[in-house]
Structure 1
Amino acid sequence: MDRFLWVSGIASLCALGFVAYLASYVLSKPQGTEKMAGLSKSVQQGAAAFLKREYSWVSAFVLVIFLLLSLVGVLKPEIGLSYKTGIAFICGAVASALAGTLGMAIATRSNARTAAAAESGGVKSALDVAISGGAVMGLGVVGIALLGLIIVYKIFEGNPVIVNGYAMGASLVALFGRAGGGIFTKGADMGADLVGKVEAGIPEDDPRNPAVIADNVGDNVGDVAGLGADLLESYVASIIASLAVAMTITAAVGTNGAEFVRAFPFFAASIGIFASIIGVMYVKIFAKSNPQSALMMGTYVAAVLAIVGVFAYAYLKGNNFVLGGVEHGWYSPAVACMIGIIAGMAVGFTSEYFTSGKLKPVQK
Structure 2
Amino acid sequence: MSSTVFIITSILISLLAFALAGWLYAWVKAQPSSNPRILEISGYIRQGATTFLNKEYSVLARFCGVAAILIFIFLPIPIWKGSVLMNLQMAAAYIFGTIFSAIAGKIGIMVATIANVKTAEAAQKGIRLSFLCGFRGGAVMGMAVVGASLLGVSLVFWLTGDTTTLLGFSFGASSLALFAKAGGGIFTKTADISADLAGKVELGIPEDDPRNPAVIADNVGDNVGDVAGMGADLFDSNVASMAAALVMGAALDQNIGGSKNVAMVFCYAAMGLLASIIGVATARMGKNDNPTFALNSSTYVTTAVFGVLTAAGTALFGMEWRIWGASIVGLLVGVIIGIASDYFTDDRRNPVRKTARASESGPAFTILSGMSYGFLSTLPALAGIGISALISYKLCEPLGSDYALFGISMAAVGMLSIVGMIISNDAYGPIVDNARGLAEMGDLGDEVLDITDSLDSAGNTVKAVTKGFAIGAAGLTVIALLGAFISEVNVAAAEAGLVAAGEKYLNGFDVMNPEVFFGMLVGAAIPAVFSAMLMLGVNRNAQRMVEEIHRQFREIVGLKEGKKGVVPEYDRCIEIATHGAIHELIPAGLMSIIATLAVGFIGGVTAIGGFLVGNIVSGLLLALFMSNTGGLWDNSKKYVESGNHGGKGSEAHKAAVIGDTVGDPFKDTAGPSINTQITVVSLVSSLMSSLFLMFSLL
Q: CA deviation at 1:282?
A: 2.5
Give 1:322's aligned residue: none
Q: Is the 8 A contact 1:99 1:137 kept in 2?
A: yes
Superposed, which structure 2 residues align to 1:1-364 within 5 Å? 2-72=4-74, 73-77=78-82, 82-121=87-126, 123-156=127-160, 158-196=161-199, 203-252=206-255, 254-255=256-257, 258-284=258-284, 286=286, 290-319=290-319, 330-356=320-346
Q: Is the 8 A contact 1:185 1:215 kept in 2?
A: yes
Q: Is the 8 A contact 1:66 1:83 kept in 2?
A: no
Give 1:325's aligned residue: none
Q: CA deviation at 1:261?
A: 0.8
Q: Deviations over 1:127-174 (max 9, x none)?
A: 111110111111111101111222211221x21111111110111111
Give 2:488's aligned residue: none
Q: Deviations over 1:246-298 (max 9, x none)?
A: 0121144x33xx42211111111111111111111222364786543332221
- Kindly name which structure, 1 or 2, has the bigger radius of gyration based on alpha carbons: 2
Stretches of structure 1 that go unaligned for 5 or more consecutive residues are 320-329
Q: Determine the C-alpha separation between the residues in 2 that align with 1:170 and 1:39.
A: 33
Two-structure CA RMSD over aligned residues (Å): 2.4
Percent identity over paired residues: 41
Q: Determine the C-alpha separation between the residues in 1 that align with 2:81 and 2:222.
A: 43
Q: Is the 8 A contact 2:253 2:260 kept in 1?
A: no
Q: CA deviation at 1:209?
A: 2.7
Q: Determine the C-alpha separation between the residues in 2 that align with 1:292 and 1:186.
A: 25
Q: Determine the C-alpha separation between the residues in 2 that align with 1:76 and 1:202.
A: 66
Q: Is the 8 A contact 1:127 1:287 kept in 2?
A: no
TM-score (norm 2): 0.47
Residue 185 and residue 85 in structure 1: after superposition, are their counterparts in 2 closer, same or farther (change >3 A)? same
Q: Determine the C-alpha separation between the residues in 2 that align with 1:335 and 1:244.
A: 20
Aligned with 1:75: secondary structure?
Answer: coil
Stretches of structure 2 that go unaligned for 5 or more consecutive residues are 355-698
Aligned with 2:283: secondary structure?
Answer: helix
Q: CA deviation at 1:105?
A: 1.0
Could you tell which deviates more after superposition, 30-39 or 69-78? 69-78
Could you tell which deviates more after superposition, 184-193 or 14-23? 184-193
Q: Is the 8 A contact 1:192 1:211 kept in 2?
A: yes
Could you tell which deviates more after superposition, 80-89 or 166-175? 80-89
Give 2:660's aligned residue: none
Q: Deviations over 1:36-95 (max 9, x none)?
A: 111111100000000000000111111111111111141342899612111000000000
Aligned with 2:259: secondary structure?
Answer: helix
Q: Determine the C-alpha separation between the residues in 2 that align with 1:264 and 1:353.
A: 35
Q: Determine the C-alpha separation between the residues in 2 that align with 1:287 and 1:27.
A: 26
Q: Is the 8 A contact 1:32 1:115 kept in 2?
A: no
Aligned residues: 349
Give 2:648's aligned residue: none
Q: CA deviation at 1:242?
A: 0.6
Could you tell which deviates more after superposition, 79-88 or 172-181? 79-88
Q: Deviations over 1:157-214 (max 9, x none)?
A: x211111111101111111111101111222233334555677775432223332111
Aligned with 2:31: secondary structure?
Answer: coil
Q: Determine the C-alpha separation between the residues in 2 that align with 1:84 and 1:31.
A: 47
> Which residue identity is paired with 1:111?
N
Q: Determine the C-alpha separation between the residues in 2 that align with 1:360 and 1:204.
A: 25
Q: Determine the C-alpha separation between the residues in 2 that align with 1:231 and 1:287.
A: 32
Q: Is the 8 A contact 1:131 1:284 kept in 2?
A: no
Residue 193 and residue 292 in structure 1: after superposition, are their counterparts in 2 closer, same or farther (change >3 A)? closer
Q: CA deviation at 1:300?
A: 1.0
Q: Deviations over 1:70-125 (max 9, x none)?
A: 1114134289961211100000000000011101111111112111111222x222
Q: Determine the C-alpha separation between the residues in 1 that align with 2:89 and 2:251.
A: 21
Q: Is the 8 A contact 2:13 2:270 kept in 1?
A: yes
Q: Is the 8 A contact 1:96 1:232 kept in 2?
A: yes
